[in-house]
Amino acid sequence: MTKNTAKKNTATREAYGEALVELGRENRNIVVLDADLSKSTKTEMFAKEFPERFFNMGIAEQNMMGTAAGLAASGKIPFVSTFAVFATGRAFDQVRNSIAYPGLNVKIAATHAGITVGQDGASHQSVEDIAIMRAIPGMTVINPADAVEAKAAVKAAALMEGPVYIRLGRHKVPVVFDEEKYEFKSGKGVVLQEGGDVTIIATGIMVAQALEASKLLSEKGIKAKVVNIHTIKPLDEDLIIECAKQTKAIITAEEHSITGGLGSAVAEVVSERFPVPVKRVGIKDRFGQSGLPEELLKLYNLTAEDIASAAAELIRKK
Amino acid sequence: MNDINFLKKIALQVRKDIVEMTYHAGSGHPGGSLSAVEIMVSLYFSVMKVDPKNPDWEDRDRFVLSKGHACPVLYSVLARKGFFSPEDLKTLRKFGSHLQGHPSRLKTPGVEVSAGSLGQGLSVANGIAIGAKMLNKDIRVYCLMGDGEIQEGSVWEAAMTAGHRKLDNLVAIVDYNNLQIDGWVEDVKGLAPLADKWRSFRWHVIGIDGHDFDQILSAFNEAEQTKGCPTVILAETVKGKGISFMENKAEWHGKAPNRQEYIEALEELGFLKGGESID
């Protein structure tokens, strides 16, 4: 393998496509289903190498989820891909009743999550997919921060038993992690930087923004601890409580609605076990809209500056 | 090989079980269970390769009850086949029972697919049929749907997939009893011309009387001989079949018999003659 992705901005969907091909070579039970979006979701990379294990189900997401359930019941490990809005919205009932309730081993890898979809606008920008998937009993929910983490998470998901939702993006984002050293441990949060004044808990593409925010804060003399939560469910509650005890203030950051996503999950555990002030940076009960990803991230207050100012304000309230 | 009298005897027992189970549960779905008795008895006692001693046997045929509310007929047939004790049937829908109000594959031996939300089973059956073909195994997949159920759009997504992929190891059966919860299917949202619909989705269509064992068995045989496309059997049935006061009445879709109705039903089936105790 050439390391052509190193340090160059890469979309997590690209890493997904690469991971599927590698998985396909390693394990003959891997099968992939798509609903007429294989070029966009990057499953076409798998389709080209393993046409006999790739199933284009046409524009029929509900049927695709059900078929994946049947394939899992036959001992296959299906990866199912479409855009996050369709995977979690259009086919919700099939994900709930045909996949999750019977505990079937289906991996839902949904791309084009969040507002960084960009110009397609609100109908294609899922701001609630984490909330929906998190509410389903037994569903593992993973939101990788960059291409390195996405690839490792996809490979780890193939080895897990049971349903997994993996949230992937369309937009090229900075590579945060070193592929040589990176190790994915499902359900474990990762401390990326120590600091005692405030903890920034981030997920997905907001992890890079959180690291940027900590630099802005250090210029003001504020030392921020930065934590990456790639697995939103099961949540690394112990690490979050440790952060609450240590810094007494928590900022969450996600490219998702603040209703039901990472911010909610963190607030739930903190309020139950060790209440400290929590401020959620995310999308505030709004749909997305057309625009370039950078324009939208600014408009919806999802930048490093937004995280830093929320943190500075929260510290004043401590 | 197919002793029709033997199948009829089991069918009578299964009808008794359905009435008894729903009576003891105080709720449940007798109407659409009774309409499917002959189909289900044919599948489990003549057509399908299954081994109750080894429910996870790799090469078994698979059955998907897409109309999950009709689980009393499935549970009864599984119990009578030996997947679990018929004693369990009285625990239907009760706290702690493995016999849930709608089928769960994690709880009941022999149940292949969890169901209850209508319109999903045929997609799952597609997946199992594709999986069987990938393994090059002679596994046949059977999926029972209700006629009201096929108003669900996802059924037609699945129908299109099976036709497109030429899943000739898949057989769908429509329990065409003409009734759904709110009344006659033709009044609520009509299906006709149903055979043409399936044909246009590239399926082989067989129409039968769904209570006639000869016709049922020959339809399953014809389905097995049919190569290059999936087969659907449109089985004309009577909702509530065998219990005269339940027959053709939408209200018996999801209602349990009371004690008096239970006694009447058992009498009609020939199980109570002259003041026997039912308890």
Q: DSSP letters along A235-304, please?
A: --HHHHHHHHHHHS-EEEEEEEESSSSHHHHHHHHHHHHS---EEEEEE-S----SS-HHHHHHHTT-SH
* Helix (H) or strand (E) run with residue B221 in it: helix B213-225
- CB < 8 Å to A52, chain B: 134
Distances (CA, A) of A65 to A32, A96, A156, B123, B126: 11, 10, 21, 8, 11
Domains and CATH numbers, chain A: 12-167 (3.40.50.970), 190-317 (3.40.50.920)
Does pLDDT of B274 surpass 70? no
Q: Got the DSSP string for A166-222? A: EE--SS-B---S-TTT----TT--EEEE--SSEEEEE-TTHHHHHHHHHHHHHHTT-
- CB < 8 Å to B123, chain A: 62-67, 69-70, 94, 98
Q: For A279, phi and psi rounded to 5 degrees?
A: -125, 130
Query: Inter-chain contact A73–B124, Cβ cutoff 8 Å?
Result: yes
Read off the tokens for A95: 């994900």
Q: Got the DSSP string for A276-287? A: --EEEEEE-S--
Interatomic CA distance for residues A79 and A33, integer angstroms:
6
Query: Inter-chain contact A73–B115, Cβ cutoff 8 Å?
Result: no
What's the mean pLDDT in A271-292? 97
Q: In the beta sheet, which residues pair with residue B145? A: B174
- Best B62, B117, B123, B138 residue to mutate vs chain A (most A CBs within 10 Å): B123
Q: For A191, phi and psi rounded to 5 degrees?
A: -80, 115
**How many CB pairs lie under 8 A apart between chains A and B?**
107
pLDDT of res. A2: 38
pLDDT of res. A5: 44
Q: Tell me which residues of chain A have a C-beta less than 8 Å from any C-beta of chain B.
A: 31, 52-53, 55, 57-58, 60, 62-76, 78, 93-94, 96-98, 101-103
- CB < 8 Å to B158, chain A: 63, 66-67
* Helix (H) or strand (E) run with residue A17 in it: helix A12-26
Average pLDDT, chain A: 96
Interatomic CA distance for residues B26 and B42, integer angstroms:
28
Model pLDDT for residues A27-69, shown as the tens digit of each residue: 999 999 999 999 999 999 999 999 999 999 999 999 999 999 9
Distance from CA of A68 to the nearest CA of B (A): 6
Distances (CA, A) of A228 to A142, A253, B32, B156, B187: 11, 10, 52, 43, 56
Q: Nearest 5°: CA angle at A188, between A42 and A99?
A: 50
- B53 CB-contact burial (10 Å; exposed 0-12 / middle 13-18 / buried 19+): exposed
Query: Inter-chain contact B131–A71, Cβ cutoff 8 Å?
Result: yes
Contacts of A41 (CB under 8 A, 6+ apart): A13, A16, A17, A34, A81, A82, A83, A109, A111, A112
Model pLDDT for residues A168-178, shown as the tens digit of each residue: 999 999 999 99
Cα A282 to the center of its chain, rounded Å: 14
Does pLDDT of A3 surpass 70? no
What's the mean pLDDT in B242-250? 97
Interatomic CA distance for residues B161 and B95, integer angstroms:
39
Read off the tokens for B235: 């089985």
Q: Which residue type sits at A71?
A: L
Interatomic CA distance for residues A306 and A212, integer angstroms:
11
Instruction: Tell me what ipTM this predicted complex has.
Output: 0.92
Q: For A139, phi and psi rounded to 5 degrees?
A: -85, 125
Distance from CA of B276 to the nearest CA of A (A): 42
Interatomic CA distance for residues A133 and A215, integer angstroms:
33
Q: Which residue type sits at B90?
A: K
Query: Inter-chain contact B113–A60, Cβ cutoff 8 Å?
Result: no
Q: Is A26 known to be catalytic? A: no
Catalytic residue among A44, A61, A128, A255: A61
Judge contact between B270 and B260, C-beta under 8 A.
Answer: no
Model pLDDT for residues B60-100, shown as the tens digit of each residue: 999 999 999 999 999 999 999 999 999 999 999 999 999 99
Judge contact between A40 and A64, C-beta under 8 A.
Answer: no
What's the mean pLDDT in A161-168? 98
CB nearest to A66's CB, from B116, B131, B158: B158
Read off the tokens for A46: 């798998």
Model pLDDT for residues A99-138, shown as the tens digit of each residue: 999 999 999 999 999 999 999 999 999 999 999 999 999 9
- Best B140, B143, B154 residue to mutate vs chain A (most A CBs within 10 Å): B154
Q: Which strands form A30-34's sheet, in the order they lie side by side?
A: A54-56, A30-34, A77-81, A107-110, A164-167, A140-142, A231-233
* Model confidence band, residue B276 (pLDDT cutoffs 50, 70, 90): low
Query: Inter-chain contact B161–A71, Cβ cutoff 8 Å?
Result: no
Does pLDDT of B275 surpass 60? no
| CATH class of this structure's domain B4-269 | alpha beta
Interatomic CA distance for residues B241 and A184, integer angstroms:
58
Query: Inter-chain contact A73–B131, Cβ cutoff 8 Å?
Result: yes
Does pLDDT of A1 surpass 70? no
- CB < 8 Å to A67, chain B: 123-124, 126-127, 130, 158, 161
